[in-house]
Structure 1
Amino acid sequence: MADELELLRRANPVPGDDPRFGEGPLGHEGERRLNHLMAGAGAGEDTATGPATRPATGPGTGGERGPRRSRPRLVWALAATVAVALTATALLLAGPNTTPAVAAPRPLVVRADSTPVPLDTLVQRAERAERDAGDGSEGLRKGTHVQSWSVGMSEDGPPITLPVERVVRWNADDSHTELVVATDPRHPGRRVLTDADDGPRLVDDGHVISEQTFPPSWSDAPPQSPPPHDTARLRAYLREAQHLDGPPTTGELLDATAVLLDTWTLGARENAALARLLADAKGLRPVGQVTDRLGRLGQAYVYDGAGYRRMLIMDPADGTVLGLEDTAAVDEPEYGVETGDVMQYSAWIR
Structure 2
Amino acid sequence: MADELELLRRADPVPPDGPHFGDGPLDHRAERRLERLLRQGRPVRRAPGARLLWGLAATGAVVATATAALVGGPSTQPALAAPRPLAVRAHSVPVPLTQLAGLADAAAAEGAPRLRRGTHVQTWSLGMADGKPPVTLPEERVVRWRADDSRTELVVATDPRHPGRPVLTDTGGTPTPVADGHVLSRTTYPPSWSDAPPQAPPPHTPAALRAYLAETVRTDPLSTPRLLDAVGELLNHWTLGARESAALVRVLADEEGLRPAGQVTDRLGRPGQAYVYAGEGGGGRRMLILDPRTGAVLGLETTFTRDEPAYGVRAGDVMDYSAWMR
Match in the other structure for 1:325:
301
Distance 1:295 1:102 in 2: 19
Structure 2: where are the runs of 5+ without partners?
A: 1-72
- Deviation at residue 113 of structure 1 after TM alignment: 2.3
- Alignment of 1:227 with 2:202, yes or no, is yes
Match in the other structure for 1:276:
250
SS for the counterpart of 2:108 is helix
What amino acid maps onto 1:292 in structure 2? D
* Paired positions, count: 253
Contact 2:118–2:236 under 8 Å retained in 1 = yes
Match in the other structure for 2:288:
312
Match in the other structure for 1:125:
103
Match in the other structure for 1:204:
179
TM-score, normalization: structure 1? 0.70
- Alignment of 1:106 with 2:84, yes or no, is yes
Match in the other structure for 1:58:
none
Match in the other structure for 1:240:
215
Distance 1:166 1:102 in 2: 19
Match in the other structure for 1:26:
none
- Alignment of 1:297 with 2:271, yes or no, is yes
What amino acid maps onto 1:92 in structure 2? T
- Deviation at residue 292 of structure 1 after TM alignment: 0.5
Match in the other structure for 1:116:
94
- Deviation at residue 90 of structure 1 after TM alignment: 4.3
What amino acid maps onto 1:215 in structure 2? P
Go from structure 1 to structure 2 and tell me whether the alpha carbon gap of 1:157 and 1:281 turns closer, same or farther (over 3 Å shift). Answer: same
Contact 2:79–2:162 under 8 Å retained in 1 = no
Go from structure 1 to structure 2 and tell me whether the alpha carbon gap of 1:160 and 1:262 turns closer, same or farther (over 3 Å shift). Answer: same
1:131-169 Cα distance to aligned partner (Å, 9 max, x none): 122xxx411110000011010122263221000000000
- Alignment of 1:341 with 2:325, yes or no, is no
SS for the counterpart of 2:207 is helix
Structure 1: where are the runs of 5+ without partners?
A: 1-88, 94-99
Contact 1:147–1:166 under 8 Å retained in 2 = yes
Contact 2:165–2:180 under 8 Å retained in 1 = yes
- Alignment of 1:92 with 2:76, yes or no, is yes
Matching residue within 129, 150, 162 for 1:154: 129
Matching residue within 262, 272, 275 for 1:288: 262
1:281-304 Cα distance to aligned partner (Å, 9 max, x none): 111001110100000010101000
Distance 1:251 1:101 in 2: 29
- Alignment of 1:190 with 2:168, yes or no, is no
Higher relative contact order by CA 8 Å / sep ≥ 6: 1 or 2? Answer: 2
1:260-287 Cα distance to aligned partner (Å, 9 max, x none): 0010001111111101001111110011
1:223-277 Cα distance to aligned partner (Å, 9 max, x none): 0000011111111111111122x21101101110000001000111111110100
Distance 1:131 1:219 in 2: 29
Distance 2:193 2:170 in 1: 32
1:51-93 Cα distance to aligned partner (Å, 9 max, x none): xxxxxxxxxxxxxxxxxxxxxxxxxxxxxxxxxxxxxx74429
Q: Percent identity among equivalent residues?
A: 65
1:323-345 Cα distance to aligned partner (Å, 9 max, x none): 01100011222222111000001
What amino acid maps onto 1:237 in structure 2? Y
- Alignment of 1:258 with 2:232, yes or no, is yes
Contact 2:303–2:319 under 8 Å retained in 1 = yes
TM-score, normalization: structure 2? 0.75
What amino acid maps onto 2:81 in structure 1? A
- 1:48-67 mapped onto 2 (5 Å cutoff): none
Matching residue within 157, 162, 176 for 2:151: 176
RMSD: 1.7
- Deviation at residue 200 of structure 1 after TM alignment: 1.3
Contact 1:235–1:247 under 8 Å retained in 2 = no
- Deviation at residue 102 of structure 1 after TM alignment: 3.0
What amino acid maps onto 2:76 in structure 1? L
Contact 1:91–1:101 under 8 Å retained in 2 = no
- Bigger Rg over Cα: 1
